[in-house]
Structure 1
């Protein structure tokens, strides 16, 4: 299933991983490798799969990628169904044309319709972009629910952003993400 949305260039297509053909999957991974300067690990790519992909096109070519996957976050004794944004990037030669905003707008529509909370880990370069869209920095301590129990992730403090939706939140309280291989946030 593919959903077409409006945006700059040729617009944004929302495609679930289950319907992402091999050529599109390879093009998205190549775009991410280029955009992140080769710093996109196999685990990072794996984290971007299993949900929705927002694919931005310009002149018929893939210009950007972002994905939304389901995770579980623990906050104040409650497990929150969380839409987690991953692998957001625009080709270097197509930046500053609105592709990132169009992809995020498409994913935020999905978030508002299906999740208790939106969350993502922002790079220093991306933090202002997300804050400008209404995402809020998580001010409390972050942790991960690991096979060994809850482990603090202080290196992520101040870099996790949330989009409050239906769940009541205390941004100064703790937030714990579910376990996964590679970077947990």
Structure 2
């Protein structure tokens, strides 16, 4: 077994290379996010001003949002604002994106914490069981469950969880305090009761 230790210079080069990859990846994601926002078939100006607005109001909001500038200029403004911590306003609501993030952050942390607790609470004992009884029926069952868990798309698991909680009332008819009732999620329990 080789115990070769990397020279300090090569570690620095590898770290620099990794950091450069992270920067390039983040820049690519920003560019992709910006591009998707611009090619969507939804007209954000119309969503803000409404279908009954006159042409002058439409043009004023169009210019305020910077859509009259070139795409490269728009991306530059977007990037500089992002570096200053300005995430902008949600195009459909007109409210600051930071306010939306702050509003949903507690629920996100609750979900993430519960996911870690459930994942560790199930994964560690099942892993110990599979390791202790290698090549037994319980080992194969744990392997199949693990493979199914890794293979299942996370968005599908989320949709099934939402359907179970909202439509099948697995957790009762409670809702998180401060959560809105509007939209599909707010109407789902009512629809489930009146099939």
Bin the TM-score by the shorter chain: under 0.3
* Higher strand fraction (1 or 2): 1
TM-score, normalised via structure 2 length: 0.21
Higher-Rg structure is 2
* Higher helix fraction (1 or 2): 2
TM-score, normalised via structure 1 length: 0.22
Structure of greater relative contact order (alpha carbons < 8 Å, 6+ residues apart): 1
